[in-house]
Amino acid sequence: MSAQLEISNLHKRFGGLVAVKSVSFDLKPGEVVGLLGPNGSGKTTVMNMISGALPCDGGSVRVGGKDVTALKPHKVSKHGVARTFQLVRPLPTLTVGENVLLSVAYSRKPKWGRAAQAIVDEKLEFVGLAGRGDEKVTNLNYIDQKRMEMARALAAEPEILLLDEWLAGLNPSELRIGIDLVQHLQGQGMTILLVEHIMEAVRALCSRCIVMSAGEKIAEGPSAEVLQDPVVIKAYLGDDHA
Domains of the chain as residue ranges with CATH: 1-80+159-242 (3.40.50.300), 90-157 (no CATH)
CA-closest candidate to residue 191, choices 158, 226, 224: 158
* Contact in structure between 227 and 241 (CB atoms under 8 Å): no
CB contact set of 93 (below 8 Å; sequence gap of 6+): none
CB contact set of 237 (below 8 Å; sequence gap of 6+): none
Burial 74-100 (b: 16+ CB within 10 A, else e): eebbbbbbbbbbeebebeeeebbbebb
Say if residue 135's pLDDT is above 50. yes
Cα 167 from chain centroid?
11
How large is the average pLDDT for residues 141-148? 90
Q: What is the pLDDT of residue 96?
A: 96
Could you tell me the pTM of the whole model? 0.92
Q: What percent of the chain has pLDDT over 70?
A: 97
Q: What is the pLDDT of residue 190?
A: 94
DSSP state of 137: G
Count CB-CB contacts under 10 A for residue 231: 12
Q: For residue range 60-102, list pLDDT tens digits in order.
A: 999 999 999 999 998 999 999 999 988 888 889 999 999 999 9
* Contact in structure between 198 and 212 (CB atoms under 8 Å): no
How large is the average pLDDT for residues 101-114? 88
